[in-house]
Amino acid sequence: MFYYQISLLKSPLSPLTYACEEELRIGEAVEVPLSRKTVRGVVLESVEKPSFTCERIALTCRLFYPSKIIELARFIAEYYVCSIGEALALFIPHAHTSFELKAPTKTSIVLSSEQQKALDFTQAHSSSLLFGDTGSGKTEIYMKLFEQCIDEGKQAIFLLPEIGLTPQMKERLRKHFGSHVAIWHSKISAKKKEQILSDLQEGKIAIVAGTRSALFLPFSHLGLIVVDEEHDESYKSGSRPRYNAKDLALLFGQKLGIRVLLGSATPSLGSFHKLPTFRLKGTFFPSQNRIFYDEGEHGISYVMTQAIHNALQARRQVVVFLPTRANFKYVTCKKCGAHIECPFCSVAMSLHHASNALKCHYCNYAETIPSVCPTCGHDEIIAERLGTAEVAQKLQAHFEGFVVQQFDRDVVRTEKHLSEILTRFNEHQIDMMVGTQMLSKGHDYHDVGLAVILGIDALLGMSDFRAREKTLALVKQIAGRSGRKGYGEVLIQTKNADFFKRYLDDFEAFLHEEAHNRKGLYPPFKKMLRLMSSHTKEEKAQAIIEQTARVAVQFPNVEVVGFGKATIAKIAGKYRYELLARSDSSKALLEFAHALRSLHVEADMDPLSFS
């Protein structure tokens, strides 16, 4: 009889010991009994016969996890404070197949002299950052790298922050590399995923473009990872393991000996500070932008409608950005001032006119729009802060004869629908798009003559040490949608025009100043850890976080920045308390986090969200 330590996939439990009559290899996928059910597991190591009676392994699968993958999973479990089973569950196991890369027929990619310099730079470094202006031709450099990688008989991963980026990118990749490209994200059917995995392991697929989960596919001949829009927070997982795909790409590059390139027009300060950087300036196509400001009251103003009118009369298209989807962020009683809050979360609900409902964007609770204030009974309820739906509605009424399209997650629910809207927009069937951050996500808009940016001061004023960096990057990304080819205008509605005037044309200068401001306080010069306790009883959640603060005293290299109620104090019926810690050392923070396992606090290493 043989005995093995088995890691249970998706389980927070530590590995358990099981018996087997046959000898197994490390990394083999198995099925084992656990509490009257059968669960998937992975063989981690063989052990001596224990003193207790062991359950037997029920089934061995024809799948396995290579030793390098187990090593990477151990790092993820340690660094992101989860079990090895939760870390391994991120990866899709390998099948025993023969691999032979069927090299695609490629169309030639011609680079400018400046793009060639950028390519040479990336090839001289195992990991690097391509800091390229919007429209400077970063994608052509990526394509050339994919081409060279395939010529070496290897495969490539092309990470994109959201599903929404894939339709246009899919078209460009398939134009160059034919059917040897696969698109991977959560909305693909199980049958399609199965086919992609089979083709990938047989060598029929050379490039996988997809969201962060594409990083964990069973590649056997991986040679390159490109992370586009590397500044985007979508690369950070919002649930355990709370990994950042961008950071893991760099780790995979180091551990697996493969080239990694991060790219962005607005790189994060962390990447800019840590990686060798090539600055690619200018635009691939001749373009010219004029930026002007509306410093009056926020909302649909005369300055804004005149700018839109001028663009439409010139037969140019318009994009209008604002940070709030639906109709309004808050619905408030005019008499008592009370917000109508979600009964399960400590947040105000958003008004959705189309469905005649108030909806919570955190737990998805919905209720009919009330006719009177539930607090005082007053019958005049007003709405504060514009949302996409209302702006689209008002602009459609103001600009009769033109087509206005709402462009956010309330309207765009599938990749197919997204692709249809973008096609209609580029074919001039839509004159104006009103949307949230989806507008900034790298879509190619061919004839946008005006980009309008509303509500940006609310983002700039958030209590987040990255607020300036995030807001400036967002404004720059949206501004880059205007005048992709030719002349374009950008109208920014803000009371902070001086800030944008100073840095919008020089993001690099901003990064240098921001680095100076953060030294000794925040990342990338300090490591940060966020710990969260949540419970249906508020006093229990509070007691856990107070106990966490007492444990912190035992770690002299860990500084507690603060602790108490979370910004959003309740979500889905659970009260939330948090503690924020920082240190010069990742090791010190991880020792602290792992010492708290018995307290059942949720650890988020290198947090990006503080709500």
Q: Which two structure tokens, joined as six digits, stand for 327?
A: 């109709």
Full set of structural domains in the chain with CATH: 2-95 (3.40.1440), 113-280 (3.40.50.300), 287-325+387-518 (3.40.50.300), 328-386 (no CATH), 527-605 (3.30.70.260)
Can you tell me the mean pLDDT for 166-183? 82
The pLDDT of residue 36 is: 87
pLDDT at residue 410 tops 80: no
> How far apart are the two ends of the chain, measured CA to CA in Å?
52
* Helix axis angle, 467-479 to 507-518, nearest 10°: 170
Beta strands in 313-353 (DSSP E): 317-321, 328-333, 350-352
Q: How far apart are CA 240 and CA 337, in angstroms?
A: 38
User: In 189-284, where does DSSP find H-type helix?
Assistant: 190-202, 245-256, 269-274
pLDDT at residue 326 tops 50: no
Q: Of 381-390, 411-420, 424-433, which one has max mean pLDDT?
A: 424-433
pLDDT at residue 117 tops 50: yes
> Tens digit of pLDDT for each residue in 279-313?
998 765 555 678 999 988 778 899 999 999 999 99
The pLDDT of residue 327 is: 38
Q: What pTM value is reported for the model?
A: 0.89
Contacts of 149 (CB under 8 A, 6+ apart): 155, 156, 206, 223, 224, 259
Please state whether 178 falls in left (phi above 0), alpha (psi between -120 and 50) or beta. left
- Percent of the chain at pLDDT above 70? 91
> Tens digit of pLDDT for each residue in 187-243?
788 999 999 999 999 999 999 999 999 999 999 899 999 999 999 999 999 999 999
Q: Residue 4: beta bridge partners?
A: 18, 46
Q: Which amino acid belongs to residue 387?
A: G
pLDDT at residue 328 tops 50: no
Q: Residue 573: beta bridge partners?
A: none
Considering only 125-129, 293-297, 425-429, 506-510, which range has the smallest mean pLDDT? 293-297
- DSSP assignment of 63-92: EE--HHHHHHHHHHHHHTT--HHHHHTTSP
Beta strands in 466-558 (DSSP E): 486-493, 527-535
